[in-house]
Structure 1
Amino acid sequence: MKNQQPLKPCVLLVRLFCISLCYLAWGSLLAQKSDPAKTAARPNIIFILTDDQRWDALGYAGNPLIHTPEMDKLAREGTYFKNAFVTTPICAASRASILTGLHERTHRFDFQTGNVRREYMMNAYPKLLKDSGYYTGFYGKYGIKDDTQDQQFDDYEIYDRKGDPDRRSYYYKTLGQDTVHLTRYTGQKALDFLDRVDPKRPFSLSLSFSAPHAQDSAEEQYFWQQTTDPLLQGVAMPDPDLGDDRYFDSLPEAVRTGFNRLRWTWRYDTPEKYQHSVKGYYRMISGIDLEIAKIRAKLKERGLDQNTVIVLMGDNGYFMGERQLAGKWLMYENSIRVPLIIMDPRAKKHRDVEVVALNIDIPATLLDLAGLQRPKTWQGKSLMPLVNHAKKDLERDTILVEHLWDFGPIPPSEGVRTGKWKYFRYVNDKTLEELYNLESDPREIHNLANDVKYRSQLLAFRAKLDELGQKYSDGNSQGPGQLTVSKGNKPKYGWELPPGATAQSSYQILVASSPENLADNRGDVWDTGEVPNSRHTQIEQGGSGVIGGKTYFWKVRIWDEAHRLTDYSEPQKYKAALGVFN
């Protein structure tokens, strides 16, 4: 540049010194990230996630019918968590929670939303491990919508069952010239990955099996590998627990007429279907067990077995005919309780743990293994102090469980669970409540919600559920504001979009005759249900109408531009204009 003055020697020396310090600092950072001596000391991690494997679909859990010798061996050699739960009993939301360490109440991801929020995926466990120097891989069912896979994984292939109404749903991937079952394919992808890893660099491999998920569109529902076909031949599977009509009849109508019942008719409503489905479910889990055995053999072959931690978990529980239901989604133990095993060869001591563990604990546990600090925004805790016998408890007295996806055939519900009690209610009618003493009634038969002797417990758990729901609710999920009512011949409703929404894809208005009905989400005057519409002004009332001079109570919630459901607005009331009668 013109007229630029030459630097004085002292200034030049200072600048050169500062530049040298920057290079030294950057070099030190790179060395810290890639120094083989440091990275090799960190354990390798294999996280295995199965689809729909309930807690007792495991030989080690005391099931004498299922054949899972390798999973049982992991449990015997490692730490087995007897009381492991998912915070949301459905694969999509549970998998989002496992990746991000957040409750569904926070991430708000379900089958009908757009991508998991990017800010949450930037803190997902694979990305943090990758950024710290781990070589990360993923094979199988991702289960969420996301466009950050390249930032999460060094090597990956995402796939799941296809929509074919027969065995092609599981048989479409090839190894060489052979079309193989997805379980076999995922196992081979793991073996190939282990053949490629550099033993001087730690790796994190996430395996997500599609099995034992049924194929809903298929008549046979379950498709297993020929290798497990001999299992359970000639064995009569025992009838499901709580299979009598009275247990089904006691359920809310929305459950009796919903997907839990429909899928029961697909799988269990005749003795023949029941035998086929339960055996098929167990055989598919046994197929995963075979792949785990191969993976452990490969680890030993490559000399990686003594520094590789294996974590095994199910993504949600499962009904196998209990209460004449199938599927998951509900708050009963069948649906929320899963297997969880952590086999750390360095621990050298087996332990069966009674402490409650959650799916949202997985990310914190994996980062702890890698010597990394968990993000403060995560809501789970590391389980490694229990594995390492450093702690006997996690100081967690109450957990939040919920299924918030508002989808007609699956009624959303929410609840809390302690070591002794479980309370839950249905979101769209909070008067439908259930309260169980799990110590005296582990099968959840005797609903105490309407028993006056347990009124204090009921009220306490209602309050605790409200407290936890508010604590974990995402700030972006705030409900609409600035509610207005135009009280002409017919009331017209309006609102402003909440700060977290740039647009509205749907809305739901509830109008009630009392504040109690509104608080229970019972729109006894008008309930629009979900209305796909971006309009949020001058919404004219339908339903039974209003009576002039009478006071009404209302609130509204919306689905945002990515179809994420917000909380309800603050309740409002108004008096209908005199002479109005619709």
Structure 2
Amino acid sequence: MAKDSDPSRPNIVYLMADDQNFGSVGIYGNTEVQTPNMDKLGEDGIVFDRHYNTTAICMASRGNVFTGMYEYKTGTNFGHGHMSQEVWSKSYPVLLREAGYATAFAGKFGIEITGLGFDGSQFFDSWGGGPVQTNYETKKNKSMAKYAKEYPHSTVSYGAFGQDFIRDAVKQDKPFCLSISFKAPHRPTTPDPQFDHIYAGKKFTKPANYGRENGTHLSEQSKQGRQYARFTEWGYDKNYDKVMATYYQQIYAIDVALGMIREELEKQGVADNTVVIYTSDNGFLCGSHGYGSKVLPLEEAARAPLMIFDPRSPSAGKKIRSSALTGNIDFAPTMLELAGATIPENMDGVSLVPLLEEPNKDLREQLSFINVFGPDATKSLTVLTKDVKYTYWWYGNDKMEPTEELFHLGKDPQEMNNLAKNPEAASLLNTMRKKYDSQLSIWEKEAIVGSRYQTYPTLFDRNIPLEEKDFNRGKQDPNKR
């Protein structure tokens, strides 16, 4: 441990992939992938098996992470608005810096702050971030261009950025927070060629719920967006092995970058006082149920890997897993508690620090999943507990009617049996409907005033007939994607 380190104010490293699902990591049960550094992080710390992104699309998810709030309070998603400076002022990077932390950010910033655009450089001591999607060519990312000669592909360049910041930060007499948002494995599929050999010629086992034949029981609404078309457009139907090899190769490069960062923590003598968090902004469907991409409330899109290692914790090194229900809104309060800073009352998330001490406990009864991106039909609200997921699909026309989906994830993790019309599940359905109505009521009270988010409680209300709902409410501008 470095001489000036303070165990009560640990360093924090927050690493987030883009579009990495929970099934892409060895420690989550996939024996066909190589993720040695992710697996080691999970073995050193805690693996979270019920971690969800409360909105499964990049801009909105990043808004959730930065602020610890649900989307209807951040006001941030494609076609819905930018983040106001007032909301941003209570984000974890701002509050940690105010608390005396040296802060750094690299990668896909992903949100636009009103009046400031995608440039968050003024809020960090070290900046390697970029606008919109950023680029896989390091030289095309202005803030990272200095790494281009040695690291021409951006994924590993972020590992080098992290190493440099750690070296600089330990020279200062204060703790640090390093945040990196990798572009990988987001499309376009551009893997680092130095890792072409990792999965060359590899064959992969398809998940048990793979293919269109395993999606016939799902709502027609969920099949109206681009997620349905991308099963064929992106080659999951005919080129599964090739598509997945590319996907996993991109993730392998992140694993290398993670290893670089952890190695530097050791080298600089601060590993024993640095909390490392690894996750993804959302999952990825990868052919499950005959869908591609993300956005939908299905497990493969909404769930993501999460490993947290706190070397000071009694759980460290014990290969522990937690089944607690956690969400991306929990990262901001977690980091603030780790830093000994005050958690703002506006945050919807809860700190995960208690789980580092007692992994078997639960912190919440339910969590919500929001989708207001894409066509009207796919917009929905989902509520879930550790074992049960309920979605109300509000949209209807001459080809489909509003419908419900109810899955008992504890018994049916592949979401193959919709219990909504099963008489034996009537009591469970009623319970989940009440949870849904309660969450929708909170949304209605707390949505940003004057925003499009104020329109959705009416659209998503189970008790208002479809003919009384205005289909123009909540419309998305198709030019803003």
- TM class, shorter-chain normalised? 0.7 to 0.9
Max radius of gyration: which structure? 1
- Which of 334, 339, 360 is the equivalent residue of 2:305? 339
Cα distance in 2 between the residues matched to 1:293 and 1:185: 13
1:62 is displaced (CA, Å) by 1.2
- Equivalent of residue 397 in structure 1, options 347, 365, 369: 365
Structure 2 counterpart of 1:519: 464
Aligned length, in residue pairs: 459
Unmatched segments (≥5 aa) in structure 2 = none
Q: How does 1:148-167 map to 2 (within 5 A)?
A: 149-150=120-121, 152-159=123-130
User: What letter is aligned with 2:52?
Assistant: F
Secondary structure of the equivalent of 1:523? helix
| Counterpart mapping for 1:182-581 below 5 A | 182-197=154-169, 198-215=171-188, 222-272=189-239, 274-347=240-313, 349=316, 350=318, 351-389=320-358, 392-405=360-373, 407-408=374-375, 411-429=378-396, 431-473=402-444, 475-477=446-448, 500-501=449-450, 519-520=464-465, 522-523=466-467, 529-530=471-472, 557=473
- Structure 1 unpaired stretches of 5+: 1-35, 216-221, 478-499, 531-556, 565-582
For 1:297 and 1:163, locate their aligned partners in 2 and report how far apart those are by CA, in whole Å: 26
Q: Which amino acid aligns with 1:371?
A: G
How far does residue 214 in structure 1 lie from its aligned partner after superposition?
1.5
Task: Report how far residue 322 of structure 1 moved.
Answer: 1.0
Separation in structure 2 between the aligned mates of residue 370 and residue 303 of structure 1, nearest angstrom: 19
| Distance in 2 (alpha carbons) for counterparts of 1:452 and 1:203 | 55
One-letter code aligned to 1:208: S
Matched position secondary structure for 2:321: strand
Give per-residue Cα distances to partners, 1:519-548, cap 9 Å, x unaligned: 14x238xx7643xxxxxxxxxxxxxxxxxx
SS in 2 for 1:312: strand
AA aligned to 2:294 is K
Which of 36, 50, 54 is equivalent to 1:87? Answer: 54
Q: Which has the higher strand share?
A: 1
2:361 aligned counterpart, secondary structure: coil
How far off is 1:289 after superposition? 0.6
CA deviation map 1:493-538 (0-9, x unaligned): xxxxxxx339x99999x99xxxx99814x238xx7643xxxxxxxx
Q: TM-score, normalised by structure 1?
A: 0.72
The answer on whether the counterparts of 1:172 and 1:180 sit within 8 Å (CA) in structure 2 is no
Tell me if the contact between 1:501 and 1:560 (Cα under 8 Å) persists in the aligned partners.
no
Change (3 A) 1:317 1:244: closer
TM-score (norm 2): 0.87
The one-letter code of the counterpart of 2:246 is G
Q: Which has the higher contact order (CA 8 A, sep 6+)?
A: 2
How many Å separate the matches in 1 of 2:291 and 2:215? 8
1:133 aligns with 2:100: yes
1:501 aligned partner, one-letter code: G
Deviation readout 1:554-578 (Å, 9 max, x if unpaired): xxx46799x99xxxxxxxxxxxxxx
Whether the 8 Å contact between 1:102 and 1:380 is mirrored in structure 2 is yes
- The one-character-per-residue Cα deviations of 1:427-451 (angstroms, maximum 9, x if unpaired) are 4348311011222222111111112
In structure 1, what is the Cα distance between the partners aligned to 2:166 and 2:134?
Answer: 30
1:246 is displaced (CA, Å) by: 3.2
Cα distance 1:518–1:184, how it changes in 2: closer, same or farther (>3 A)? Answer: same
Residues 506 and 560 of structure 1 are in contact (CA less than 8 Å); yes or no, is this contact kept in structure 2?
Answer: no
Give, in whole Å, the separation in 2 of the partners of 1:55 and 1:163.
24
RMSD over aligned Cα, in angstroms? 3.2
Helix, strand or coil: the match of 2:348? coil
SS in 2 for 1:82: strand
